[in-house]
Amino acid sequence: MKIEDMELEPRYTASLMANEPLTAPGAADEVRELVLMVDEGGFRFDIGQSIAVLVAGPHDFGQQHHVRLYSISSTPSAQHQKAEITICVRRCNYVDPFSGERYEGVASNYLCDLPVGSRLTIAGPIGMPFKLPENPESNLLMMGLGTGIAPFRALIRHIYTERGGWRGKIRLFYGARSGLEMAYMNDRRNEFARYLDEKTFAAVEVLSPRPARNEPAAFERAIRLHKAEVWSLILDPNTYVYLAGLESLRNMLETALAELAGSTDEWARIKASIVADDRWAELLY
Ligand SMILES: Cc1cc2nc3c(=O)[nH]c(=O)nc-3n(C[C@H](O)[C@H](O)[C@H](O)COP(=O)(O)OP(=O)(O)OC[C@H]3O[C@@H](n4cnc5c(N)ncnc54)[C@H](O)[C@@H]3O)c2cc1C
C-alpha cells in the first residue's frame, strides 16, 4: 500500500526520550535508536508493526507533511497508560545520478538529528503484526537485513525475557555491509549476546564480502554454509519464517532457497505450502 493511501488518523504527539547510535564508531551507514513516549493514551501496537513519522513542511513538492514508516523494535509490554516505542533509523543520503549532488533523506535525517526532549508527530500502528505461534515447540527462522533487525529484536526479547520456556529452535540470520553496521550486534551494543546461553537460540552474522565496494551482505553464501539446518527447518511443518528489512533480501533468499530445493519450481511449491499454512511473514521495504 502506498503511504499516500494510508490511514494517518488519529495522529499522536510523542516525546523523544533517547537518541543513541546503534552502529559501531566508523560505520559507513549510521543507524540510531530512538525511544519515544506517546503523550496521549490509547496508542497500542503489536510486534512487527510500524509507526508513521510525519515531518512538517515546507517540503520540495509542496506536501504538508513528509511521511515515512519505521518498524517498532520494542515489545508491547512497555505500553502502560502511555506507550513507549523504540525505532531504529538508518540515516539515508542519496546521490543524484545525473548531477552527482548529495541529498539528505528528509525523515531519516530529521529523526537522527532530533534532540532528546523534542516532540514529534506520529500515526499508526501500521501493518500486520508478526504472529508468534502458540506452541513453544515451534521453530522460528528469522532473516533480516539492515534495520530489518527491529522487529526481530522485539520478537526475540519477548520470547526469552517476557514469555520464557521456548523449546523450538530460534535462528536469526542478520545481514549488514560490515560488522560495524550490525545494529544491536557490535562492540558498542551487543543485545543478542544475552540470549546465546539459551540452548534454543543461534544467530548468524551475514556480512558483505567486499563492503568497500558496496556489495550486499552475502545471504546466498550464508544459507549455503548452513544449508543442512536451514533446509531441515524449512521442511519442518513446525517452522515459521519471518523476513524483514530491505526488499533486496527477497531475491537473495529466493535464489538461495531455490538452490537448496533443487529448482525454482520446487522452491515455489514448498514456499506456497508454507504461505498457505500462514507460516510465512514479511516486512520488506
Ligand atoms: C513498512 C516499512 C518499514 C520501514 N522501517 C524502517 C526502519 O525500521 N528503519 C529505517 O531506517 N527505515 C525504515 N523504512 C524506510 C523509511 O520509511 C524511509 O523510506 C527511509 O528512512 C528514507 O526516508 P527519508 O525521508 O529519509 O528519505 P526521502 O527523503 O524520502 O528519500 C527517499 C527516496 O527518495 C529518493 N531521493 C530522495 N532525494 C533524492 C535525490 N536528491 N536524488 C535522487 N533520489 C532521491 C531516494 O532514492 C529514496 O528512494 C521502512 C519503510 C517501510 C515501508
pLDDT tens readout for residues 39-85: 999 899 999 999 999 999 888 877 889 999 999 999 998 777 899 99
State the cell numbers at 225. Answer: 554454509
90 lines ligand 1 (CB under 6 A): yes
Measured between alpha carbons, how far is 68 from 245 in angstroms, rounded to an integer?
Answer: 14
pLDDT digits (tens, 9 = 90+) for 158-213: 999 999 999 999 999 999 999 999 999 888 888 998 998 899 999 999 999 998 88
70 lines ligand 1 (CB under 6 A): yes
Distance 71 CA to ligand 1 centre (A): 13
CB of 112 within 8 A of CB of 30? yes
Measured between alpha carbons, how far is 212 from 215 in angstroms, rounded to an integer?
Answer: 8
Distance 270 CA to ligand 1 centre (A): 33
pLDDT digits (tens, 9 = 90+) for 124-139: 999 999 999 999 999 9
63 lines ligand 1 (CB under 6 A): no
Supply the pLDDT for residue 196: 84
Residue range 138-160: mean pLDDT, rounded? 96
What separation in angstroms does the CA of 122 have from each of 53, 85, 190, 205, 283?
A: 5, 11, 29, 32, 19
pTM of the model: 0.94
Confidence of residue 252 (pLDDT cuts 50, 70, 90): very high
Supply the pLDDT for residue 281: 97
pLDDT digits (tens, 9 = 90+) for 12-44: 999 999 999 999 888 988 999 999 999 999 899
Supply the pLDDT for residue 213: 86
Supply the pLDDT for residue 30: 94
What separation in angstroms does the CA of 16 have from each of 44, 113, 120, 150, 196?
A: 18, 11, 8, 18, 31
Task: Provide the residue type at 88 as one letter.
Answer: C
Q: From 3, 22, 55, 92, give the residue whose CB has the most ligand 1 atoms within 8 Å, as the site to mutate.
A: 92
Distance 67 CA to ligand 1 centre (A): 10
